[in-house]
């Protein structure tokens, strides 16, 4: 043994001693109830596995829970932001409606009846407000209203005057009771060309915008800074509103959890209003709770199965081993007839079979020993008989021995000559002793056979020497070929190892590609969902635009009818004007008649006197009546001129409104077509994304298959590497064996040569 091997052996012994010491130390730490009981060991192992699985499950569950909580928070934030945009757009539409009514020139007519009728028509046509009021911005008095009982009321008793002075348009950050007794929210806008007039539209508290919820049981309200509800059905904790993030922060939406609900609040710009979307935590986190519940159920089931398997399996194994131990103790006591049969076919069954085989073998050995003892006793008896016979034979042998000694000397000389190589000598067979004669005969026959054998061996040695030289040459060639094969196989092994490494890299890349494809599929599904929502929004917008078109068509029809009525009124005014002209002519004629009457009266006064005075009185009365009629006709004509002017202005205003309606109708129709195109494009986008998602899923499946195939090829390459290494080792062993064979053949050739030289010493006939 070399020094390195000795040092290695000492190192191994030290390592073994160290491991043994550590195991002994571990045994001293672990309680004896565990180390001495297989069932307890099994149960402890199961519990450790259960704890490990539980720890892993808790780790993954916490990660999944955090991810789902983040998704829910993002969802409620996006919902609150969307509802804020919806309310802002809805509020903007209310202000636009107020602007369209406030711009009507009919409100400039200082006539409460005309203004109120215009507000009634605006309320009925727009269907945006419950009531409309024209308010004096200085006094707060209602000058005209769509509700008669509101005229003369003071709106500053209901609306804070500071709202009017600080902004041209506003929304009351609170609910109030309208003059008609309803709970409403007010929207105000000053007229552009008349700052002394304010148009107020009232919306019922339950008439706010409608919000679509993404979480079952959710509710959205509009509240002020004190937490008072402006629009909505449920109240909200004021802290939810006061803690909301201001608009100039990084995030407009604040999410809080309170009272079993998750609240997302968003302050609307510089206003005092906040949009608050509240969702039940049980619904918002339903998926998370379901996942956690599934995890708990899975863990409980896993724990139960492991415990049952551990207890049942461990108890079964422990019971079987205990029974086997008891039977082994019985065998130790000498009871070899103990029953070692079992129905188990597992390792415990094999252990039973091993003990049974050992028992049977032990019984067989005992039987053989008993038989041998019996035979030895019999042999001892036979030996004693043989000893007696040997004593008799010894005497006879001494006599024969003397005869043999004389013959032995002669035979010795013959044998010595034969030993020196002279195989031609022979012994004399003519002896009285049959045994010696037989020896001589057999010796002579042996020399004959030995002489023949020497001749054959000599010939064979020559042949072996010749064949050994050929075998030596062939074995050398085989050895060289084996070395070449070994080198080639080693190169194949190296190539297979490189191929295996390359396939492992391909496998990693394909795994990364599979994960990327799955992420693309998930993103495609999310984009498809957004596209579907966009398509639905486009369809809703198209329906709303169609409704607006229908409303504008109604307004246009009403405007045309109003124009026709105004034109009829102009015709009637023209007829009245004609009548007034006739009245003026009659008054002129009456005046002329009165003048003629005065002339006639003067003539008559020149004759009789009294009759002329009476006629003059009548003429004066007729003249006065004529002047009064003319004055009345002039006044009526002036008023008709004023009415005609107002009628023309009204007709122009209605025609202008009709033209505006036509223009807006066309714009809304264009918007409806745009919404329709948006819906169609969104639908096409959704379909395309669905196809992309399907193709991505198929690509992910194909990628997984490719990964599996690459893994299989890598496994084959790994196996090829192992087999190639084994083949290379075998080739090297074969090469070494051929070297040994070559050396053995060389030794054989040398020995054959030596044999030939040795045989040459023998003399044969």
Mean pLDDT calculated for residue range 468-490: 64
Q: Which is higher by pLDDT, 102 or 53?
A: 102
What are the backbone angles phi and psi of residue 176, rounded to the nearest 5°?
-145, 165
Top mean pLDDT of 138-142, 471-475, 503-507 is at 138-142
pLDDT at 246: 45
Residue 370 pLDDT greater than 70, yes or no: yes
Mean pLDDT calculated for residue range 499-520: 68
Task: Report d(CA 528, CA 520) in Å as an integer.
Answer: 12
Distances (CA, A) of 728 to 476, 482, 518: 19, 10, 44
Query: Is residue 448 within 8 Å of residue 423, measured between CB atoms?
Result: no
Residue 388 pLDDT greater than 80, yes or no: no
Q: pTM for the complete prediction?
A: 0.39
Query: Is residue 615 within 8 Å of residue 672, measured between CB atoms?
Result: no
Task: Report d(CA 232, CA 418) in Å as an integer.
Answer: 137
Task: Report d(CA 761, CA 765) in Å as an integer.
Answer: 13
> What percent of the chain shows pLDDT beyond 90?
9
Element (H, E) at 267: strand 261-267
Paired strand residues for 183: 177
pLDDT at 186: 94
pLDDT at 249: 44
Mean pLDDT calculated for residue range 278-302: 76
Mean pLDDT calculated for residue range 747-762: 68
For the stretch 57-90, pLDDT in tens is 777 777 777 777 787 888 888 888 888 889 899 9
pLDDT at 146: 92
pLDDT at 437: 75
Query: Is residue 231 within 8 Å of residue 209, measured between CB atoms?
Result: yes
For the stretch 393-441, pLDDT in tens is 666 666 666 666 766 777 777 777 777 777 777 777 776 667 677 777 8
For the stretch 630-685, pLDDT in tens is 777 677 777 667 677 766 776 676 666 666 666 666 666 666 676 667 667 667 76
Residue 176 pLDDT greater than 90, yes or no: yes
pLDDT at 675: 61
pLDDT at 741: 64
pLDDT at 604: 67
pLDDT at 248: 41
pLDDT at 247: 39
Confidence label for 130 from pLDDT (cuts 50, 70 and 90): very high
Confidence label for 201 from pLDDT (cuts 50, 70 and 90): very high
Top mean pLDDT of 171-185, 346-360, 740-754 is at 171-185
Query: Is residue 233 within 8 Å of residue 221, measured between CB atoms?
Result: yes
Task: Report d(CA 742, CA 478) in Å as an integer.
Answer: 10
Q: Which is higher by pLDDT, 178 or 338?
A: 178
pLDDT at 374: 83
Q: Of 173-187, 268-282, 437-451, which gets the smallest average pLDDT?
A: 437-451
Task: Report d(CA 678, CA 762) in Å as an integer.
Answer: 121
For the stretch 223-275, pLDDT in tens is 888 888 888 876 666 666 655 544 344 557 888 877 778 888 888 877 778 88
> What percent of the chain shows pLDDT beyond 70?
57
Distances (CA, A) of 423 to 405, 419, 460, 591, 764: 23, 8, 19, 204, 6
Q: Residue 426 region, left (φ>0) first, then alpha (ψ -120 to 50), else beta?
A: beta
- CATH code for the domain defined by 448-759: 1.10.287.950
Cβ neighbours for 101, distance < 8 A, ≥ 6 positions apart: 107, 118, 119, 122, 126, 132, 199
Distances (CA, A) of 324 to 331, 459, 478: 10, 69, 57
pLDDT at 142: 93
Residue 690 pLDDT greater than 90, yes or no: no
Mean pLDDT calculated for residue range 304-333: 71
Paired strand residues for 135: 142, 198
> Could you give the 3-state DSSP secondary structure of residue 184?
strand
Residue 755 pLDDT greater than 80, yes or no: no
Distances (CA, A) of 730 to 475, 487, 573: 17, 12, 128
Among the listed residues 322, 306, 86, 105, the one whose alpha carbon sits nearest the alpha carbon of residue 192 = 105
Residue 384 pLDDT greater than 90, yes or no: no
454-461's contacts with Cβ under 8 Å and 24+ in sequence apart are 454/423, 454/759, 454/762, 454/764, 455/764, 457/755, 457/759, 458/756, 458/759, 458/760, 461/752, 461/753, 461/755, 461/756, 461/759
Mean pLDDT of the residues in the chain: 73
pLDDT at 717: 64
Mean pLDDT calculated for residue range 706-719: 69
Q: Which is higher by pLDDT, 633 or 220?
A: 220
Task: Report d(CA 556, CA 661) in Å as an integer.
Answer: 6
Cβ neighbours for 492, distance < 8 A, ≥ 6 positions apart: 720, 724
Residue 15 pLDDT greater than 70, yes or no: no
pLDDT at 521: 64
Mean pLDDT calculated for residue range 744-754: 69
The maximal CA–CA distance of the chain, rounded, in angstroms, is: 243
Mean pLDDT calculated for residue range 18-41: 58
């Amino acid at each position: 043994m070399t020094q390195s091997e000795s040092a290695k052996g000492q190192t191994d012994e030290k390592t073994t001693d160290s491991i043994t010491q550590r195991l002994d130390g571990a045994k001293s730490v672990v309680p004896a109830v565990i180390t001495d009981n297989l069932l307890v060991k099994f149960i402890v192992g199961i519990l450790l596995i259960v704890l490990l699985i539980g720890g892993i499950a808790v780790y993954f569950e916490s990660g999944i829970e955090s991810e789902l909580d983040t998704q829910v928070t993002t969802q409620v934030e996006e919902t609150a932001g969307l509802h804020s945009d919806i309310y802002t757009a809805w509020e903007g539409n209310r202000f636009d409606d107020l602007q369209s009514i406030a711009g009507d020139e009919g409100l400039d007519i200082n006539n409460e009846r005309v203004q109120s009728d215009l507000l009634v028509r605006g309320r009925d046509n727009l269907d945006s407000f419950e009531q409309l009021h024209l308010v004096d911005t200085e006094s707060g008095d209602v000058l005209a209203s769509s509700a008669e009982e509101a005229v003369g009321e003071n709106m500053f008793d209901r609306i804070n005057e500071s709202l009017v002075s600080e902004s041209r348009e506003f929304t009351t950050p609170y609910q109030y009771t309208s003059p008609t007794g309803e709970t409403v929210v007010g929207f105000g806008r000053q007229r552009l060309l008349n700052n002394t007039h304010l148009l107020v539209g009232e919306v019922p508290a339950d008439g706010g915008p409608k919000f679509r919820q993404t979480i079952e049981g959710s509710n959205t309200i509009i509240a002020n800074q004190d937490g008072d509800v402006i629009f909505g059905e449920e109240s909200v904790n004021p802290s939810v509103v006061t803690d909301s993030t201001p608009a100039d922060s990084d995030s407009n939406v604040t999410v809080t959890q309170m009272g079993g609900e998750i609240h997302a609040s968003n302050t609307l710009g510089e206003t005092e209003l906040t949009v608050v979307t509240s969702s039940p935590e049980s619904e918002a986190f339903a998926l998370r709770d379901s996942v956690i519940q599934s995890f708990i159920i899975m863990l409980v089931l896993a724990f139960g199965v492991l415990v049952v398997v551990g207890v049942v399996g461990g108890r079964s194994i422990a019971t079987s081993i205990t029974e086997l131990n008891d039977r082994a103790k019985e065998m130790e006591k000498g009871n070899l007839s103990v029953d070692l049969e079992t129905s188990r076919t597992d390792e415990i069954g094999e252990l039973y079979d091993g003990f049974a085989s050992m028992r049977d073998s032990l019984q067989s050995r005992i039987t053989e020993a008993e038989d041998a003892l019996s035979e030895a006793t019999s042999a001892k008896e036979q030996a004693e008989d043989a000893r007696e016979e040997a004593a008799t034979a010894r005497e006879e042998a001494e006599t024969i021995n003397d005869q043999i000694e004389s013959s032995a000397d002669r035979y010795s000389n013959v044998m010595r000559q034969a030993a020196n190589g002279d195989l031609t000598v022979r012994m004399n067979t003519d002896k009285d002793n049959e045994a010696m004669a037989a020896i001589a005969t057999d010796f002579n026959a042996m020399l004959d056979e030995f002489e023949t054998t020497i001749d054959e061996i000599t010939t064979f040695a020559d042949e072996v020497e010749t064949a050994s030289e050929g075998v030596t040459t062939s074995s050398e060639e085989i050895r060289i070929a084996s070395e070449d094969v070994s080198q080639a196989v080693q190169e194949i092994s190296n190539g297979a190892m490189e191929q295996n490494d390359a396939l492992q890299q391909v496998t990693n890349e394909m795994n990364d590609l599979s994960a990327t494809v799955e992420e693309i599929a998930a993103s495609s599904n999310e984009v498809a969902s957004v596209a579907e929502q966009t398509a639905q929004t486009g369809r809703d917008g198209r329906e709303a635009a169609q409704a607006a078109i229908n409303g504008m068509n109604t307004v246009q029809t009403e405007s045309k009818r109003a124009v026709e009525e105004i034109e009829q009124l102009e015709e009637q005014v023209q007829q009245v004007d004609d009548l007034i002209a006739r009245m003026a002519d009659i008054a002129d004629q009456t005046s002329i008649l009165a003048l003629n009457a005065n002339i006639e009266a003067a003539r008559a006064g020149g004759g009789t006197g009294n009759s002329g005075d009476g006629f003059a009185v009548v003429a004066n009365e007729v003249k006065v009546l004529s002047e009064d009629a003319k004055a009345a006709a002039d006044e009526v004509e002036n008023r008709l001129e004023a009415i005609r002017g107002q009628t023309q202005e009204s007709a122009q205003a209605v025609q202008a409104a009709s033209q505006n309606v036509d223009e807006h109708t066309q714009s809304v129709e264009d918007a409806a077509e745009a919404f329709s195109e948006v819906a169609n494009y969104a639908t096409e986008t959704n379909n395309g994304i669905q196809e992309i998602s399907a193709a991505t899923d198929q690509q992910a499946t194909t990628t997984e298959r490719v990964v599996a195939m690459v893994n299989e090829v890598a496994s084959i390459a790994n196996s090829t590497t192992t087999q190639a290494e084994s083949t290379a080792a075998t080739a090297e062993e074969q090469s070494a064996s051929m070297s040994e064979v070559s050396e053995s053949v060389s030794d054989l050739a040398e020995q054959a040569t030596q044999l030939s030289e040795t045989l040459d010493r023998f003399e044969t006939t």
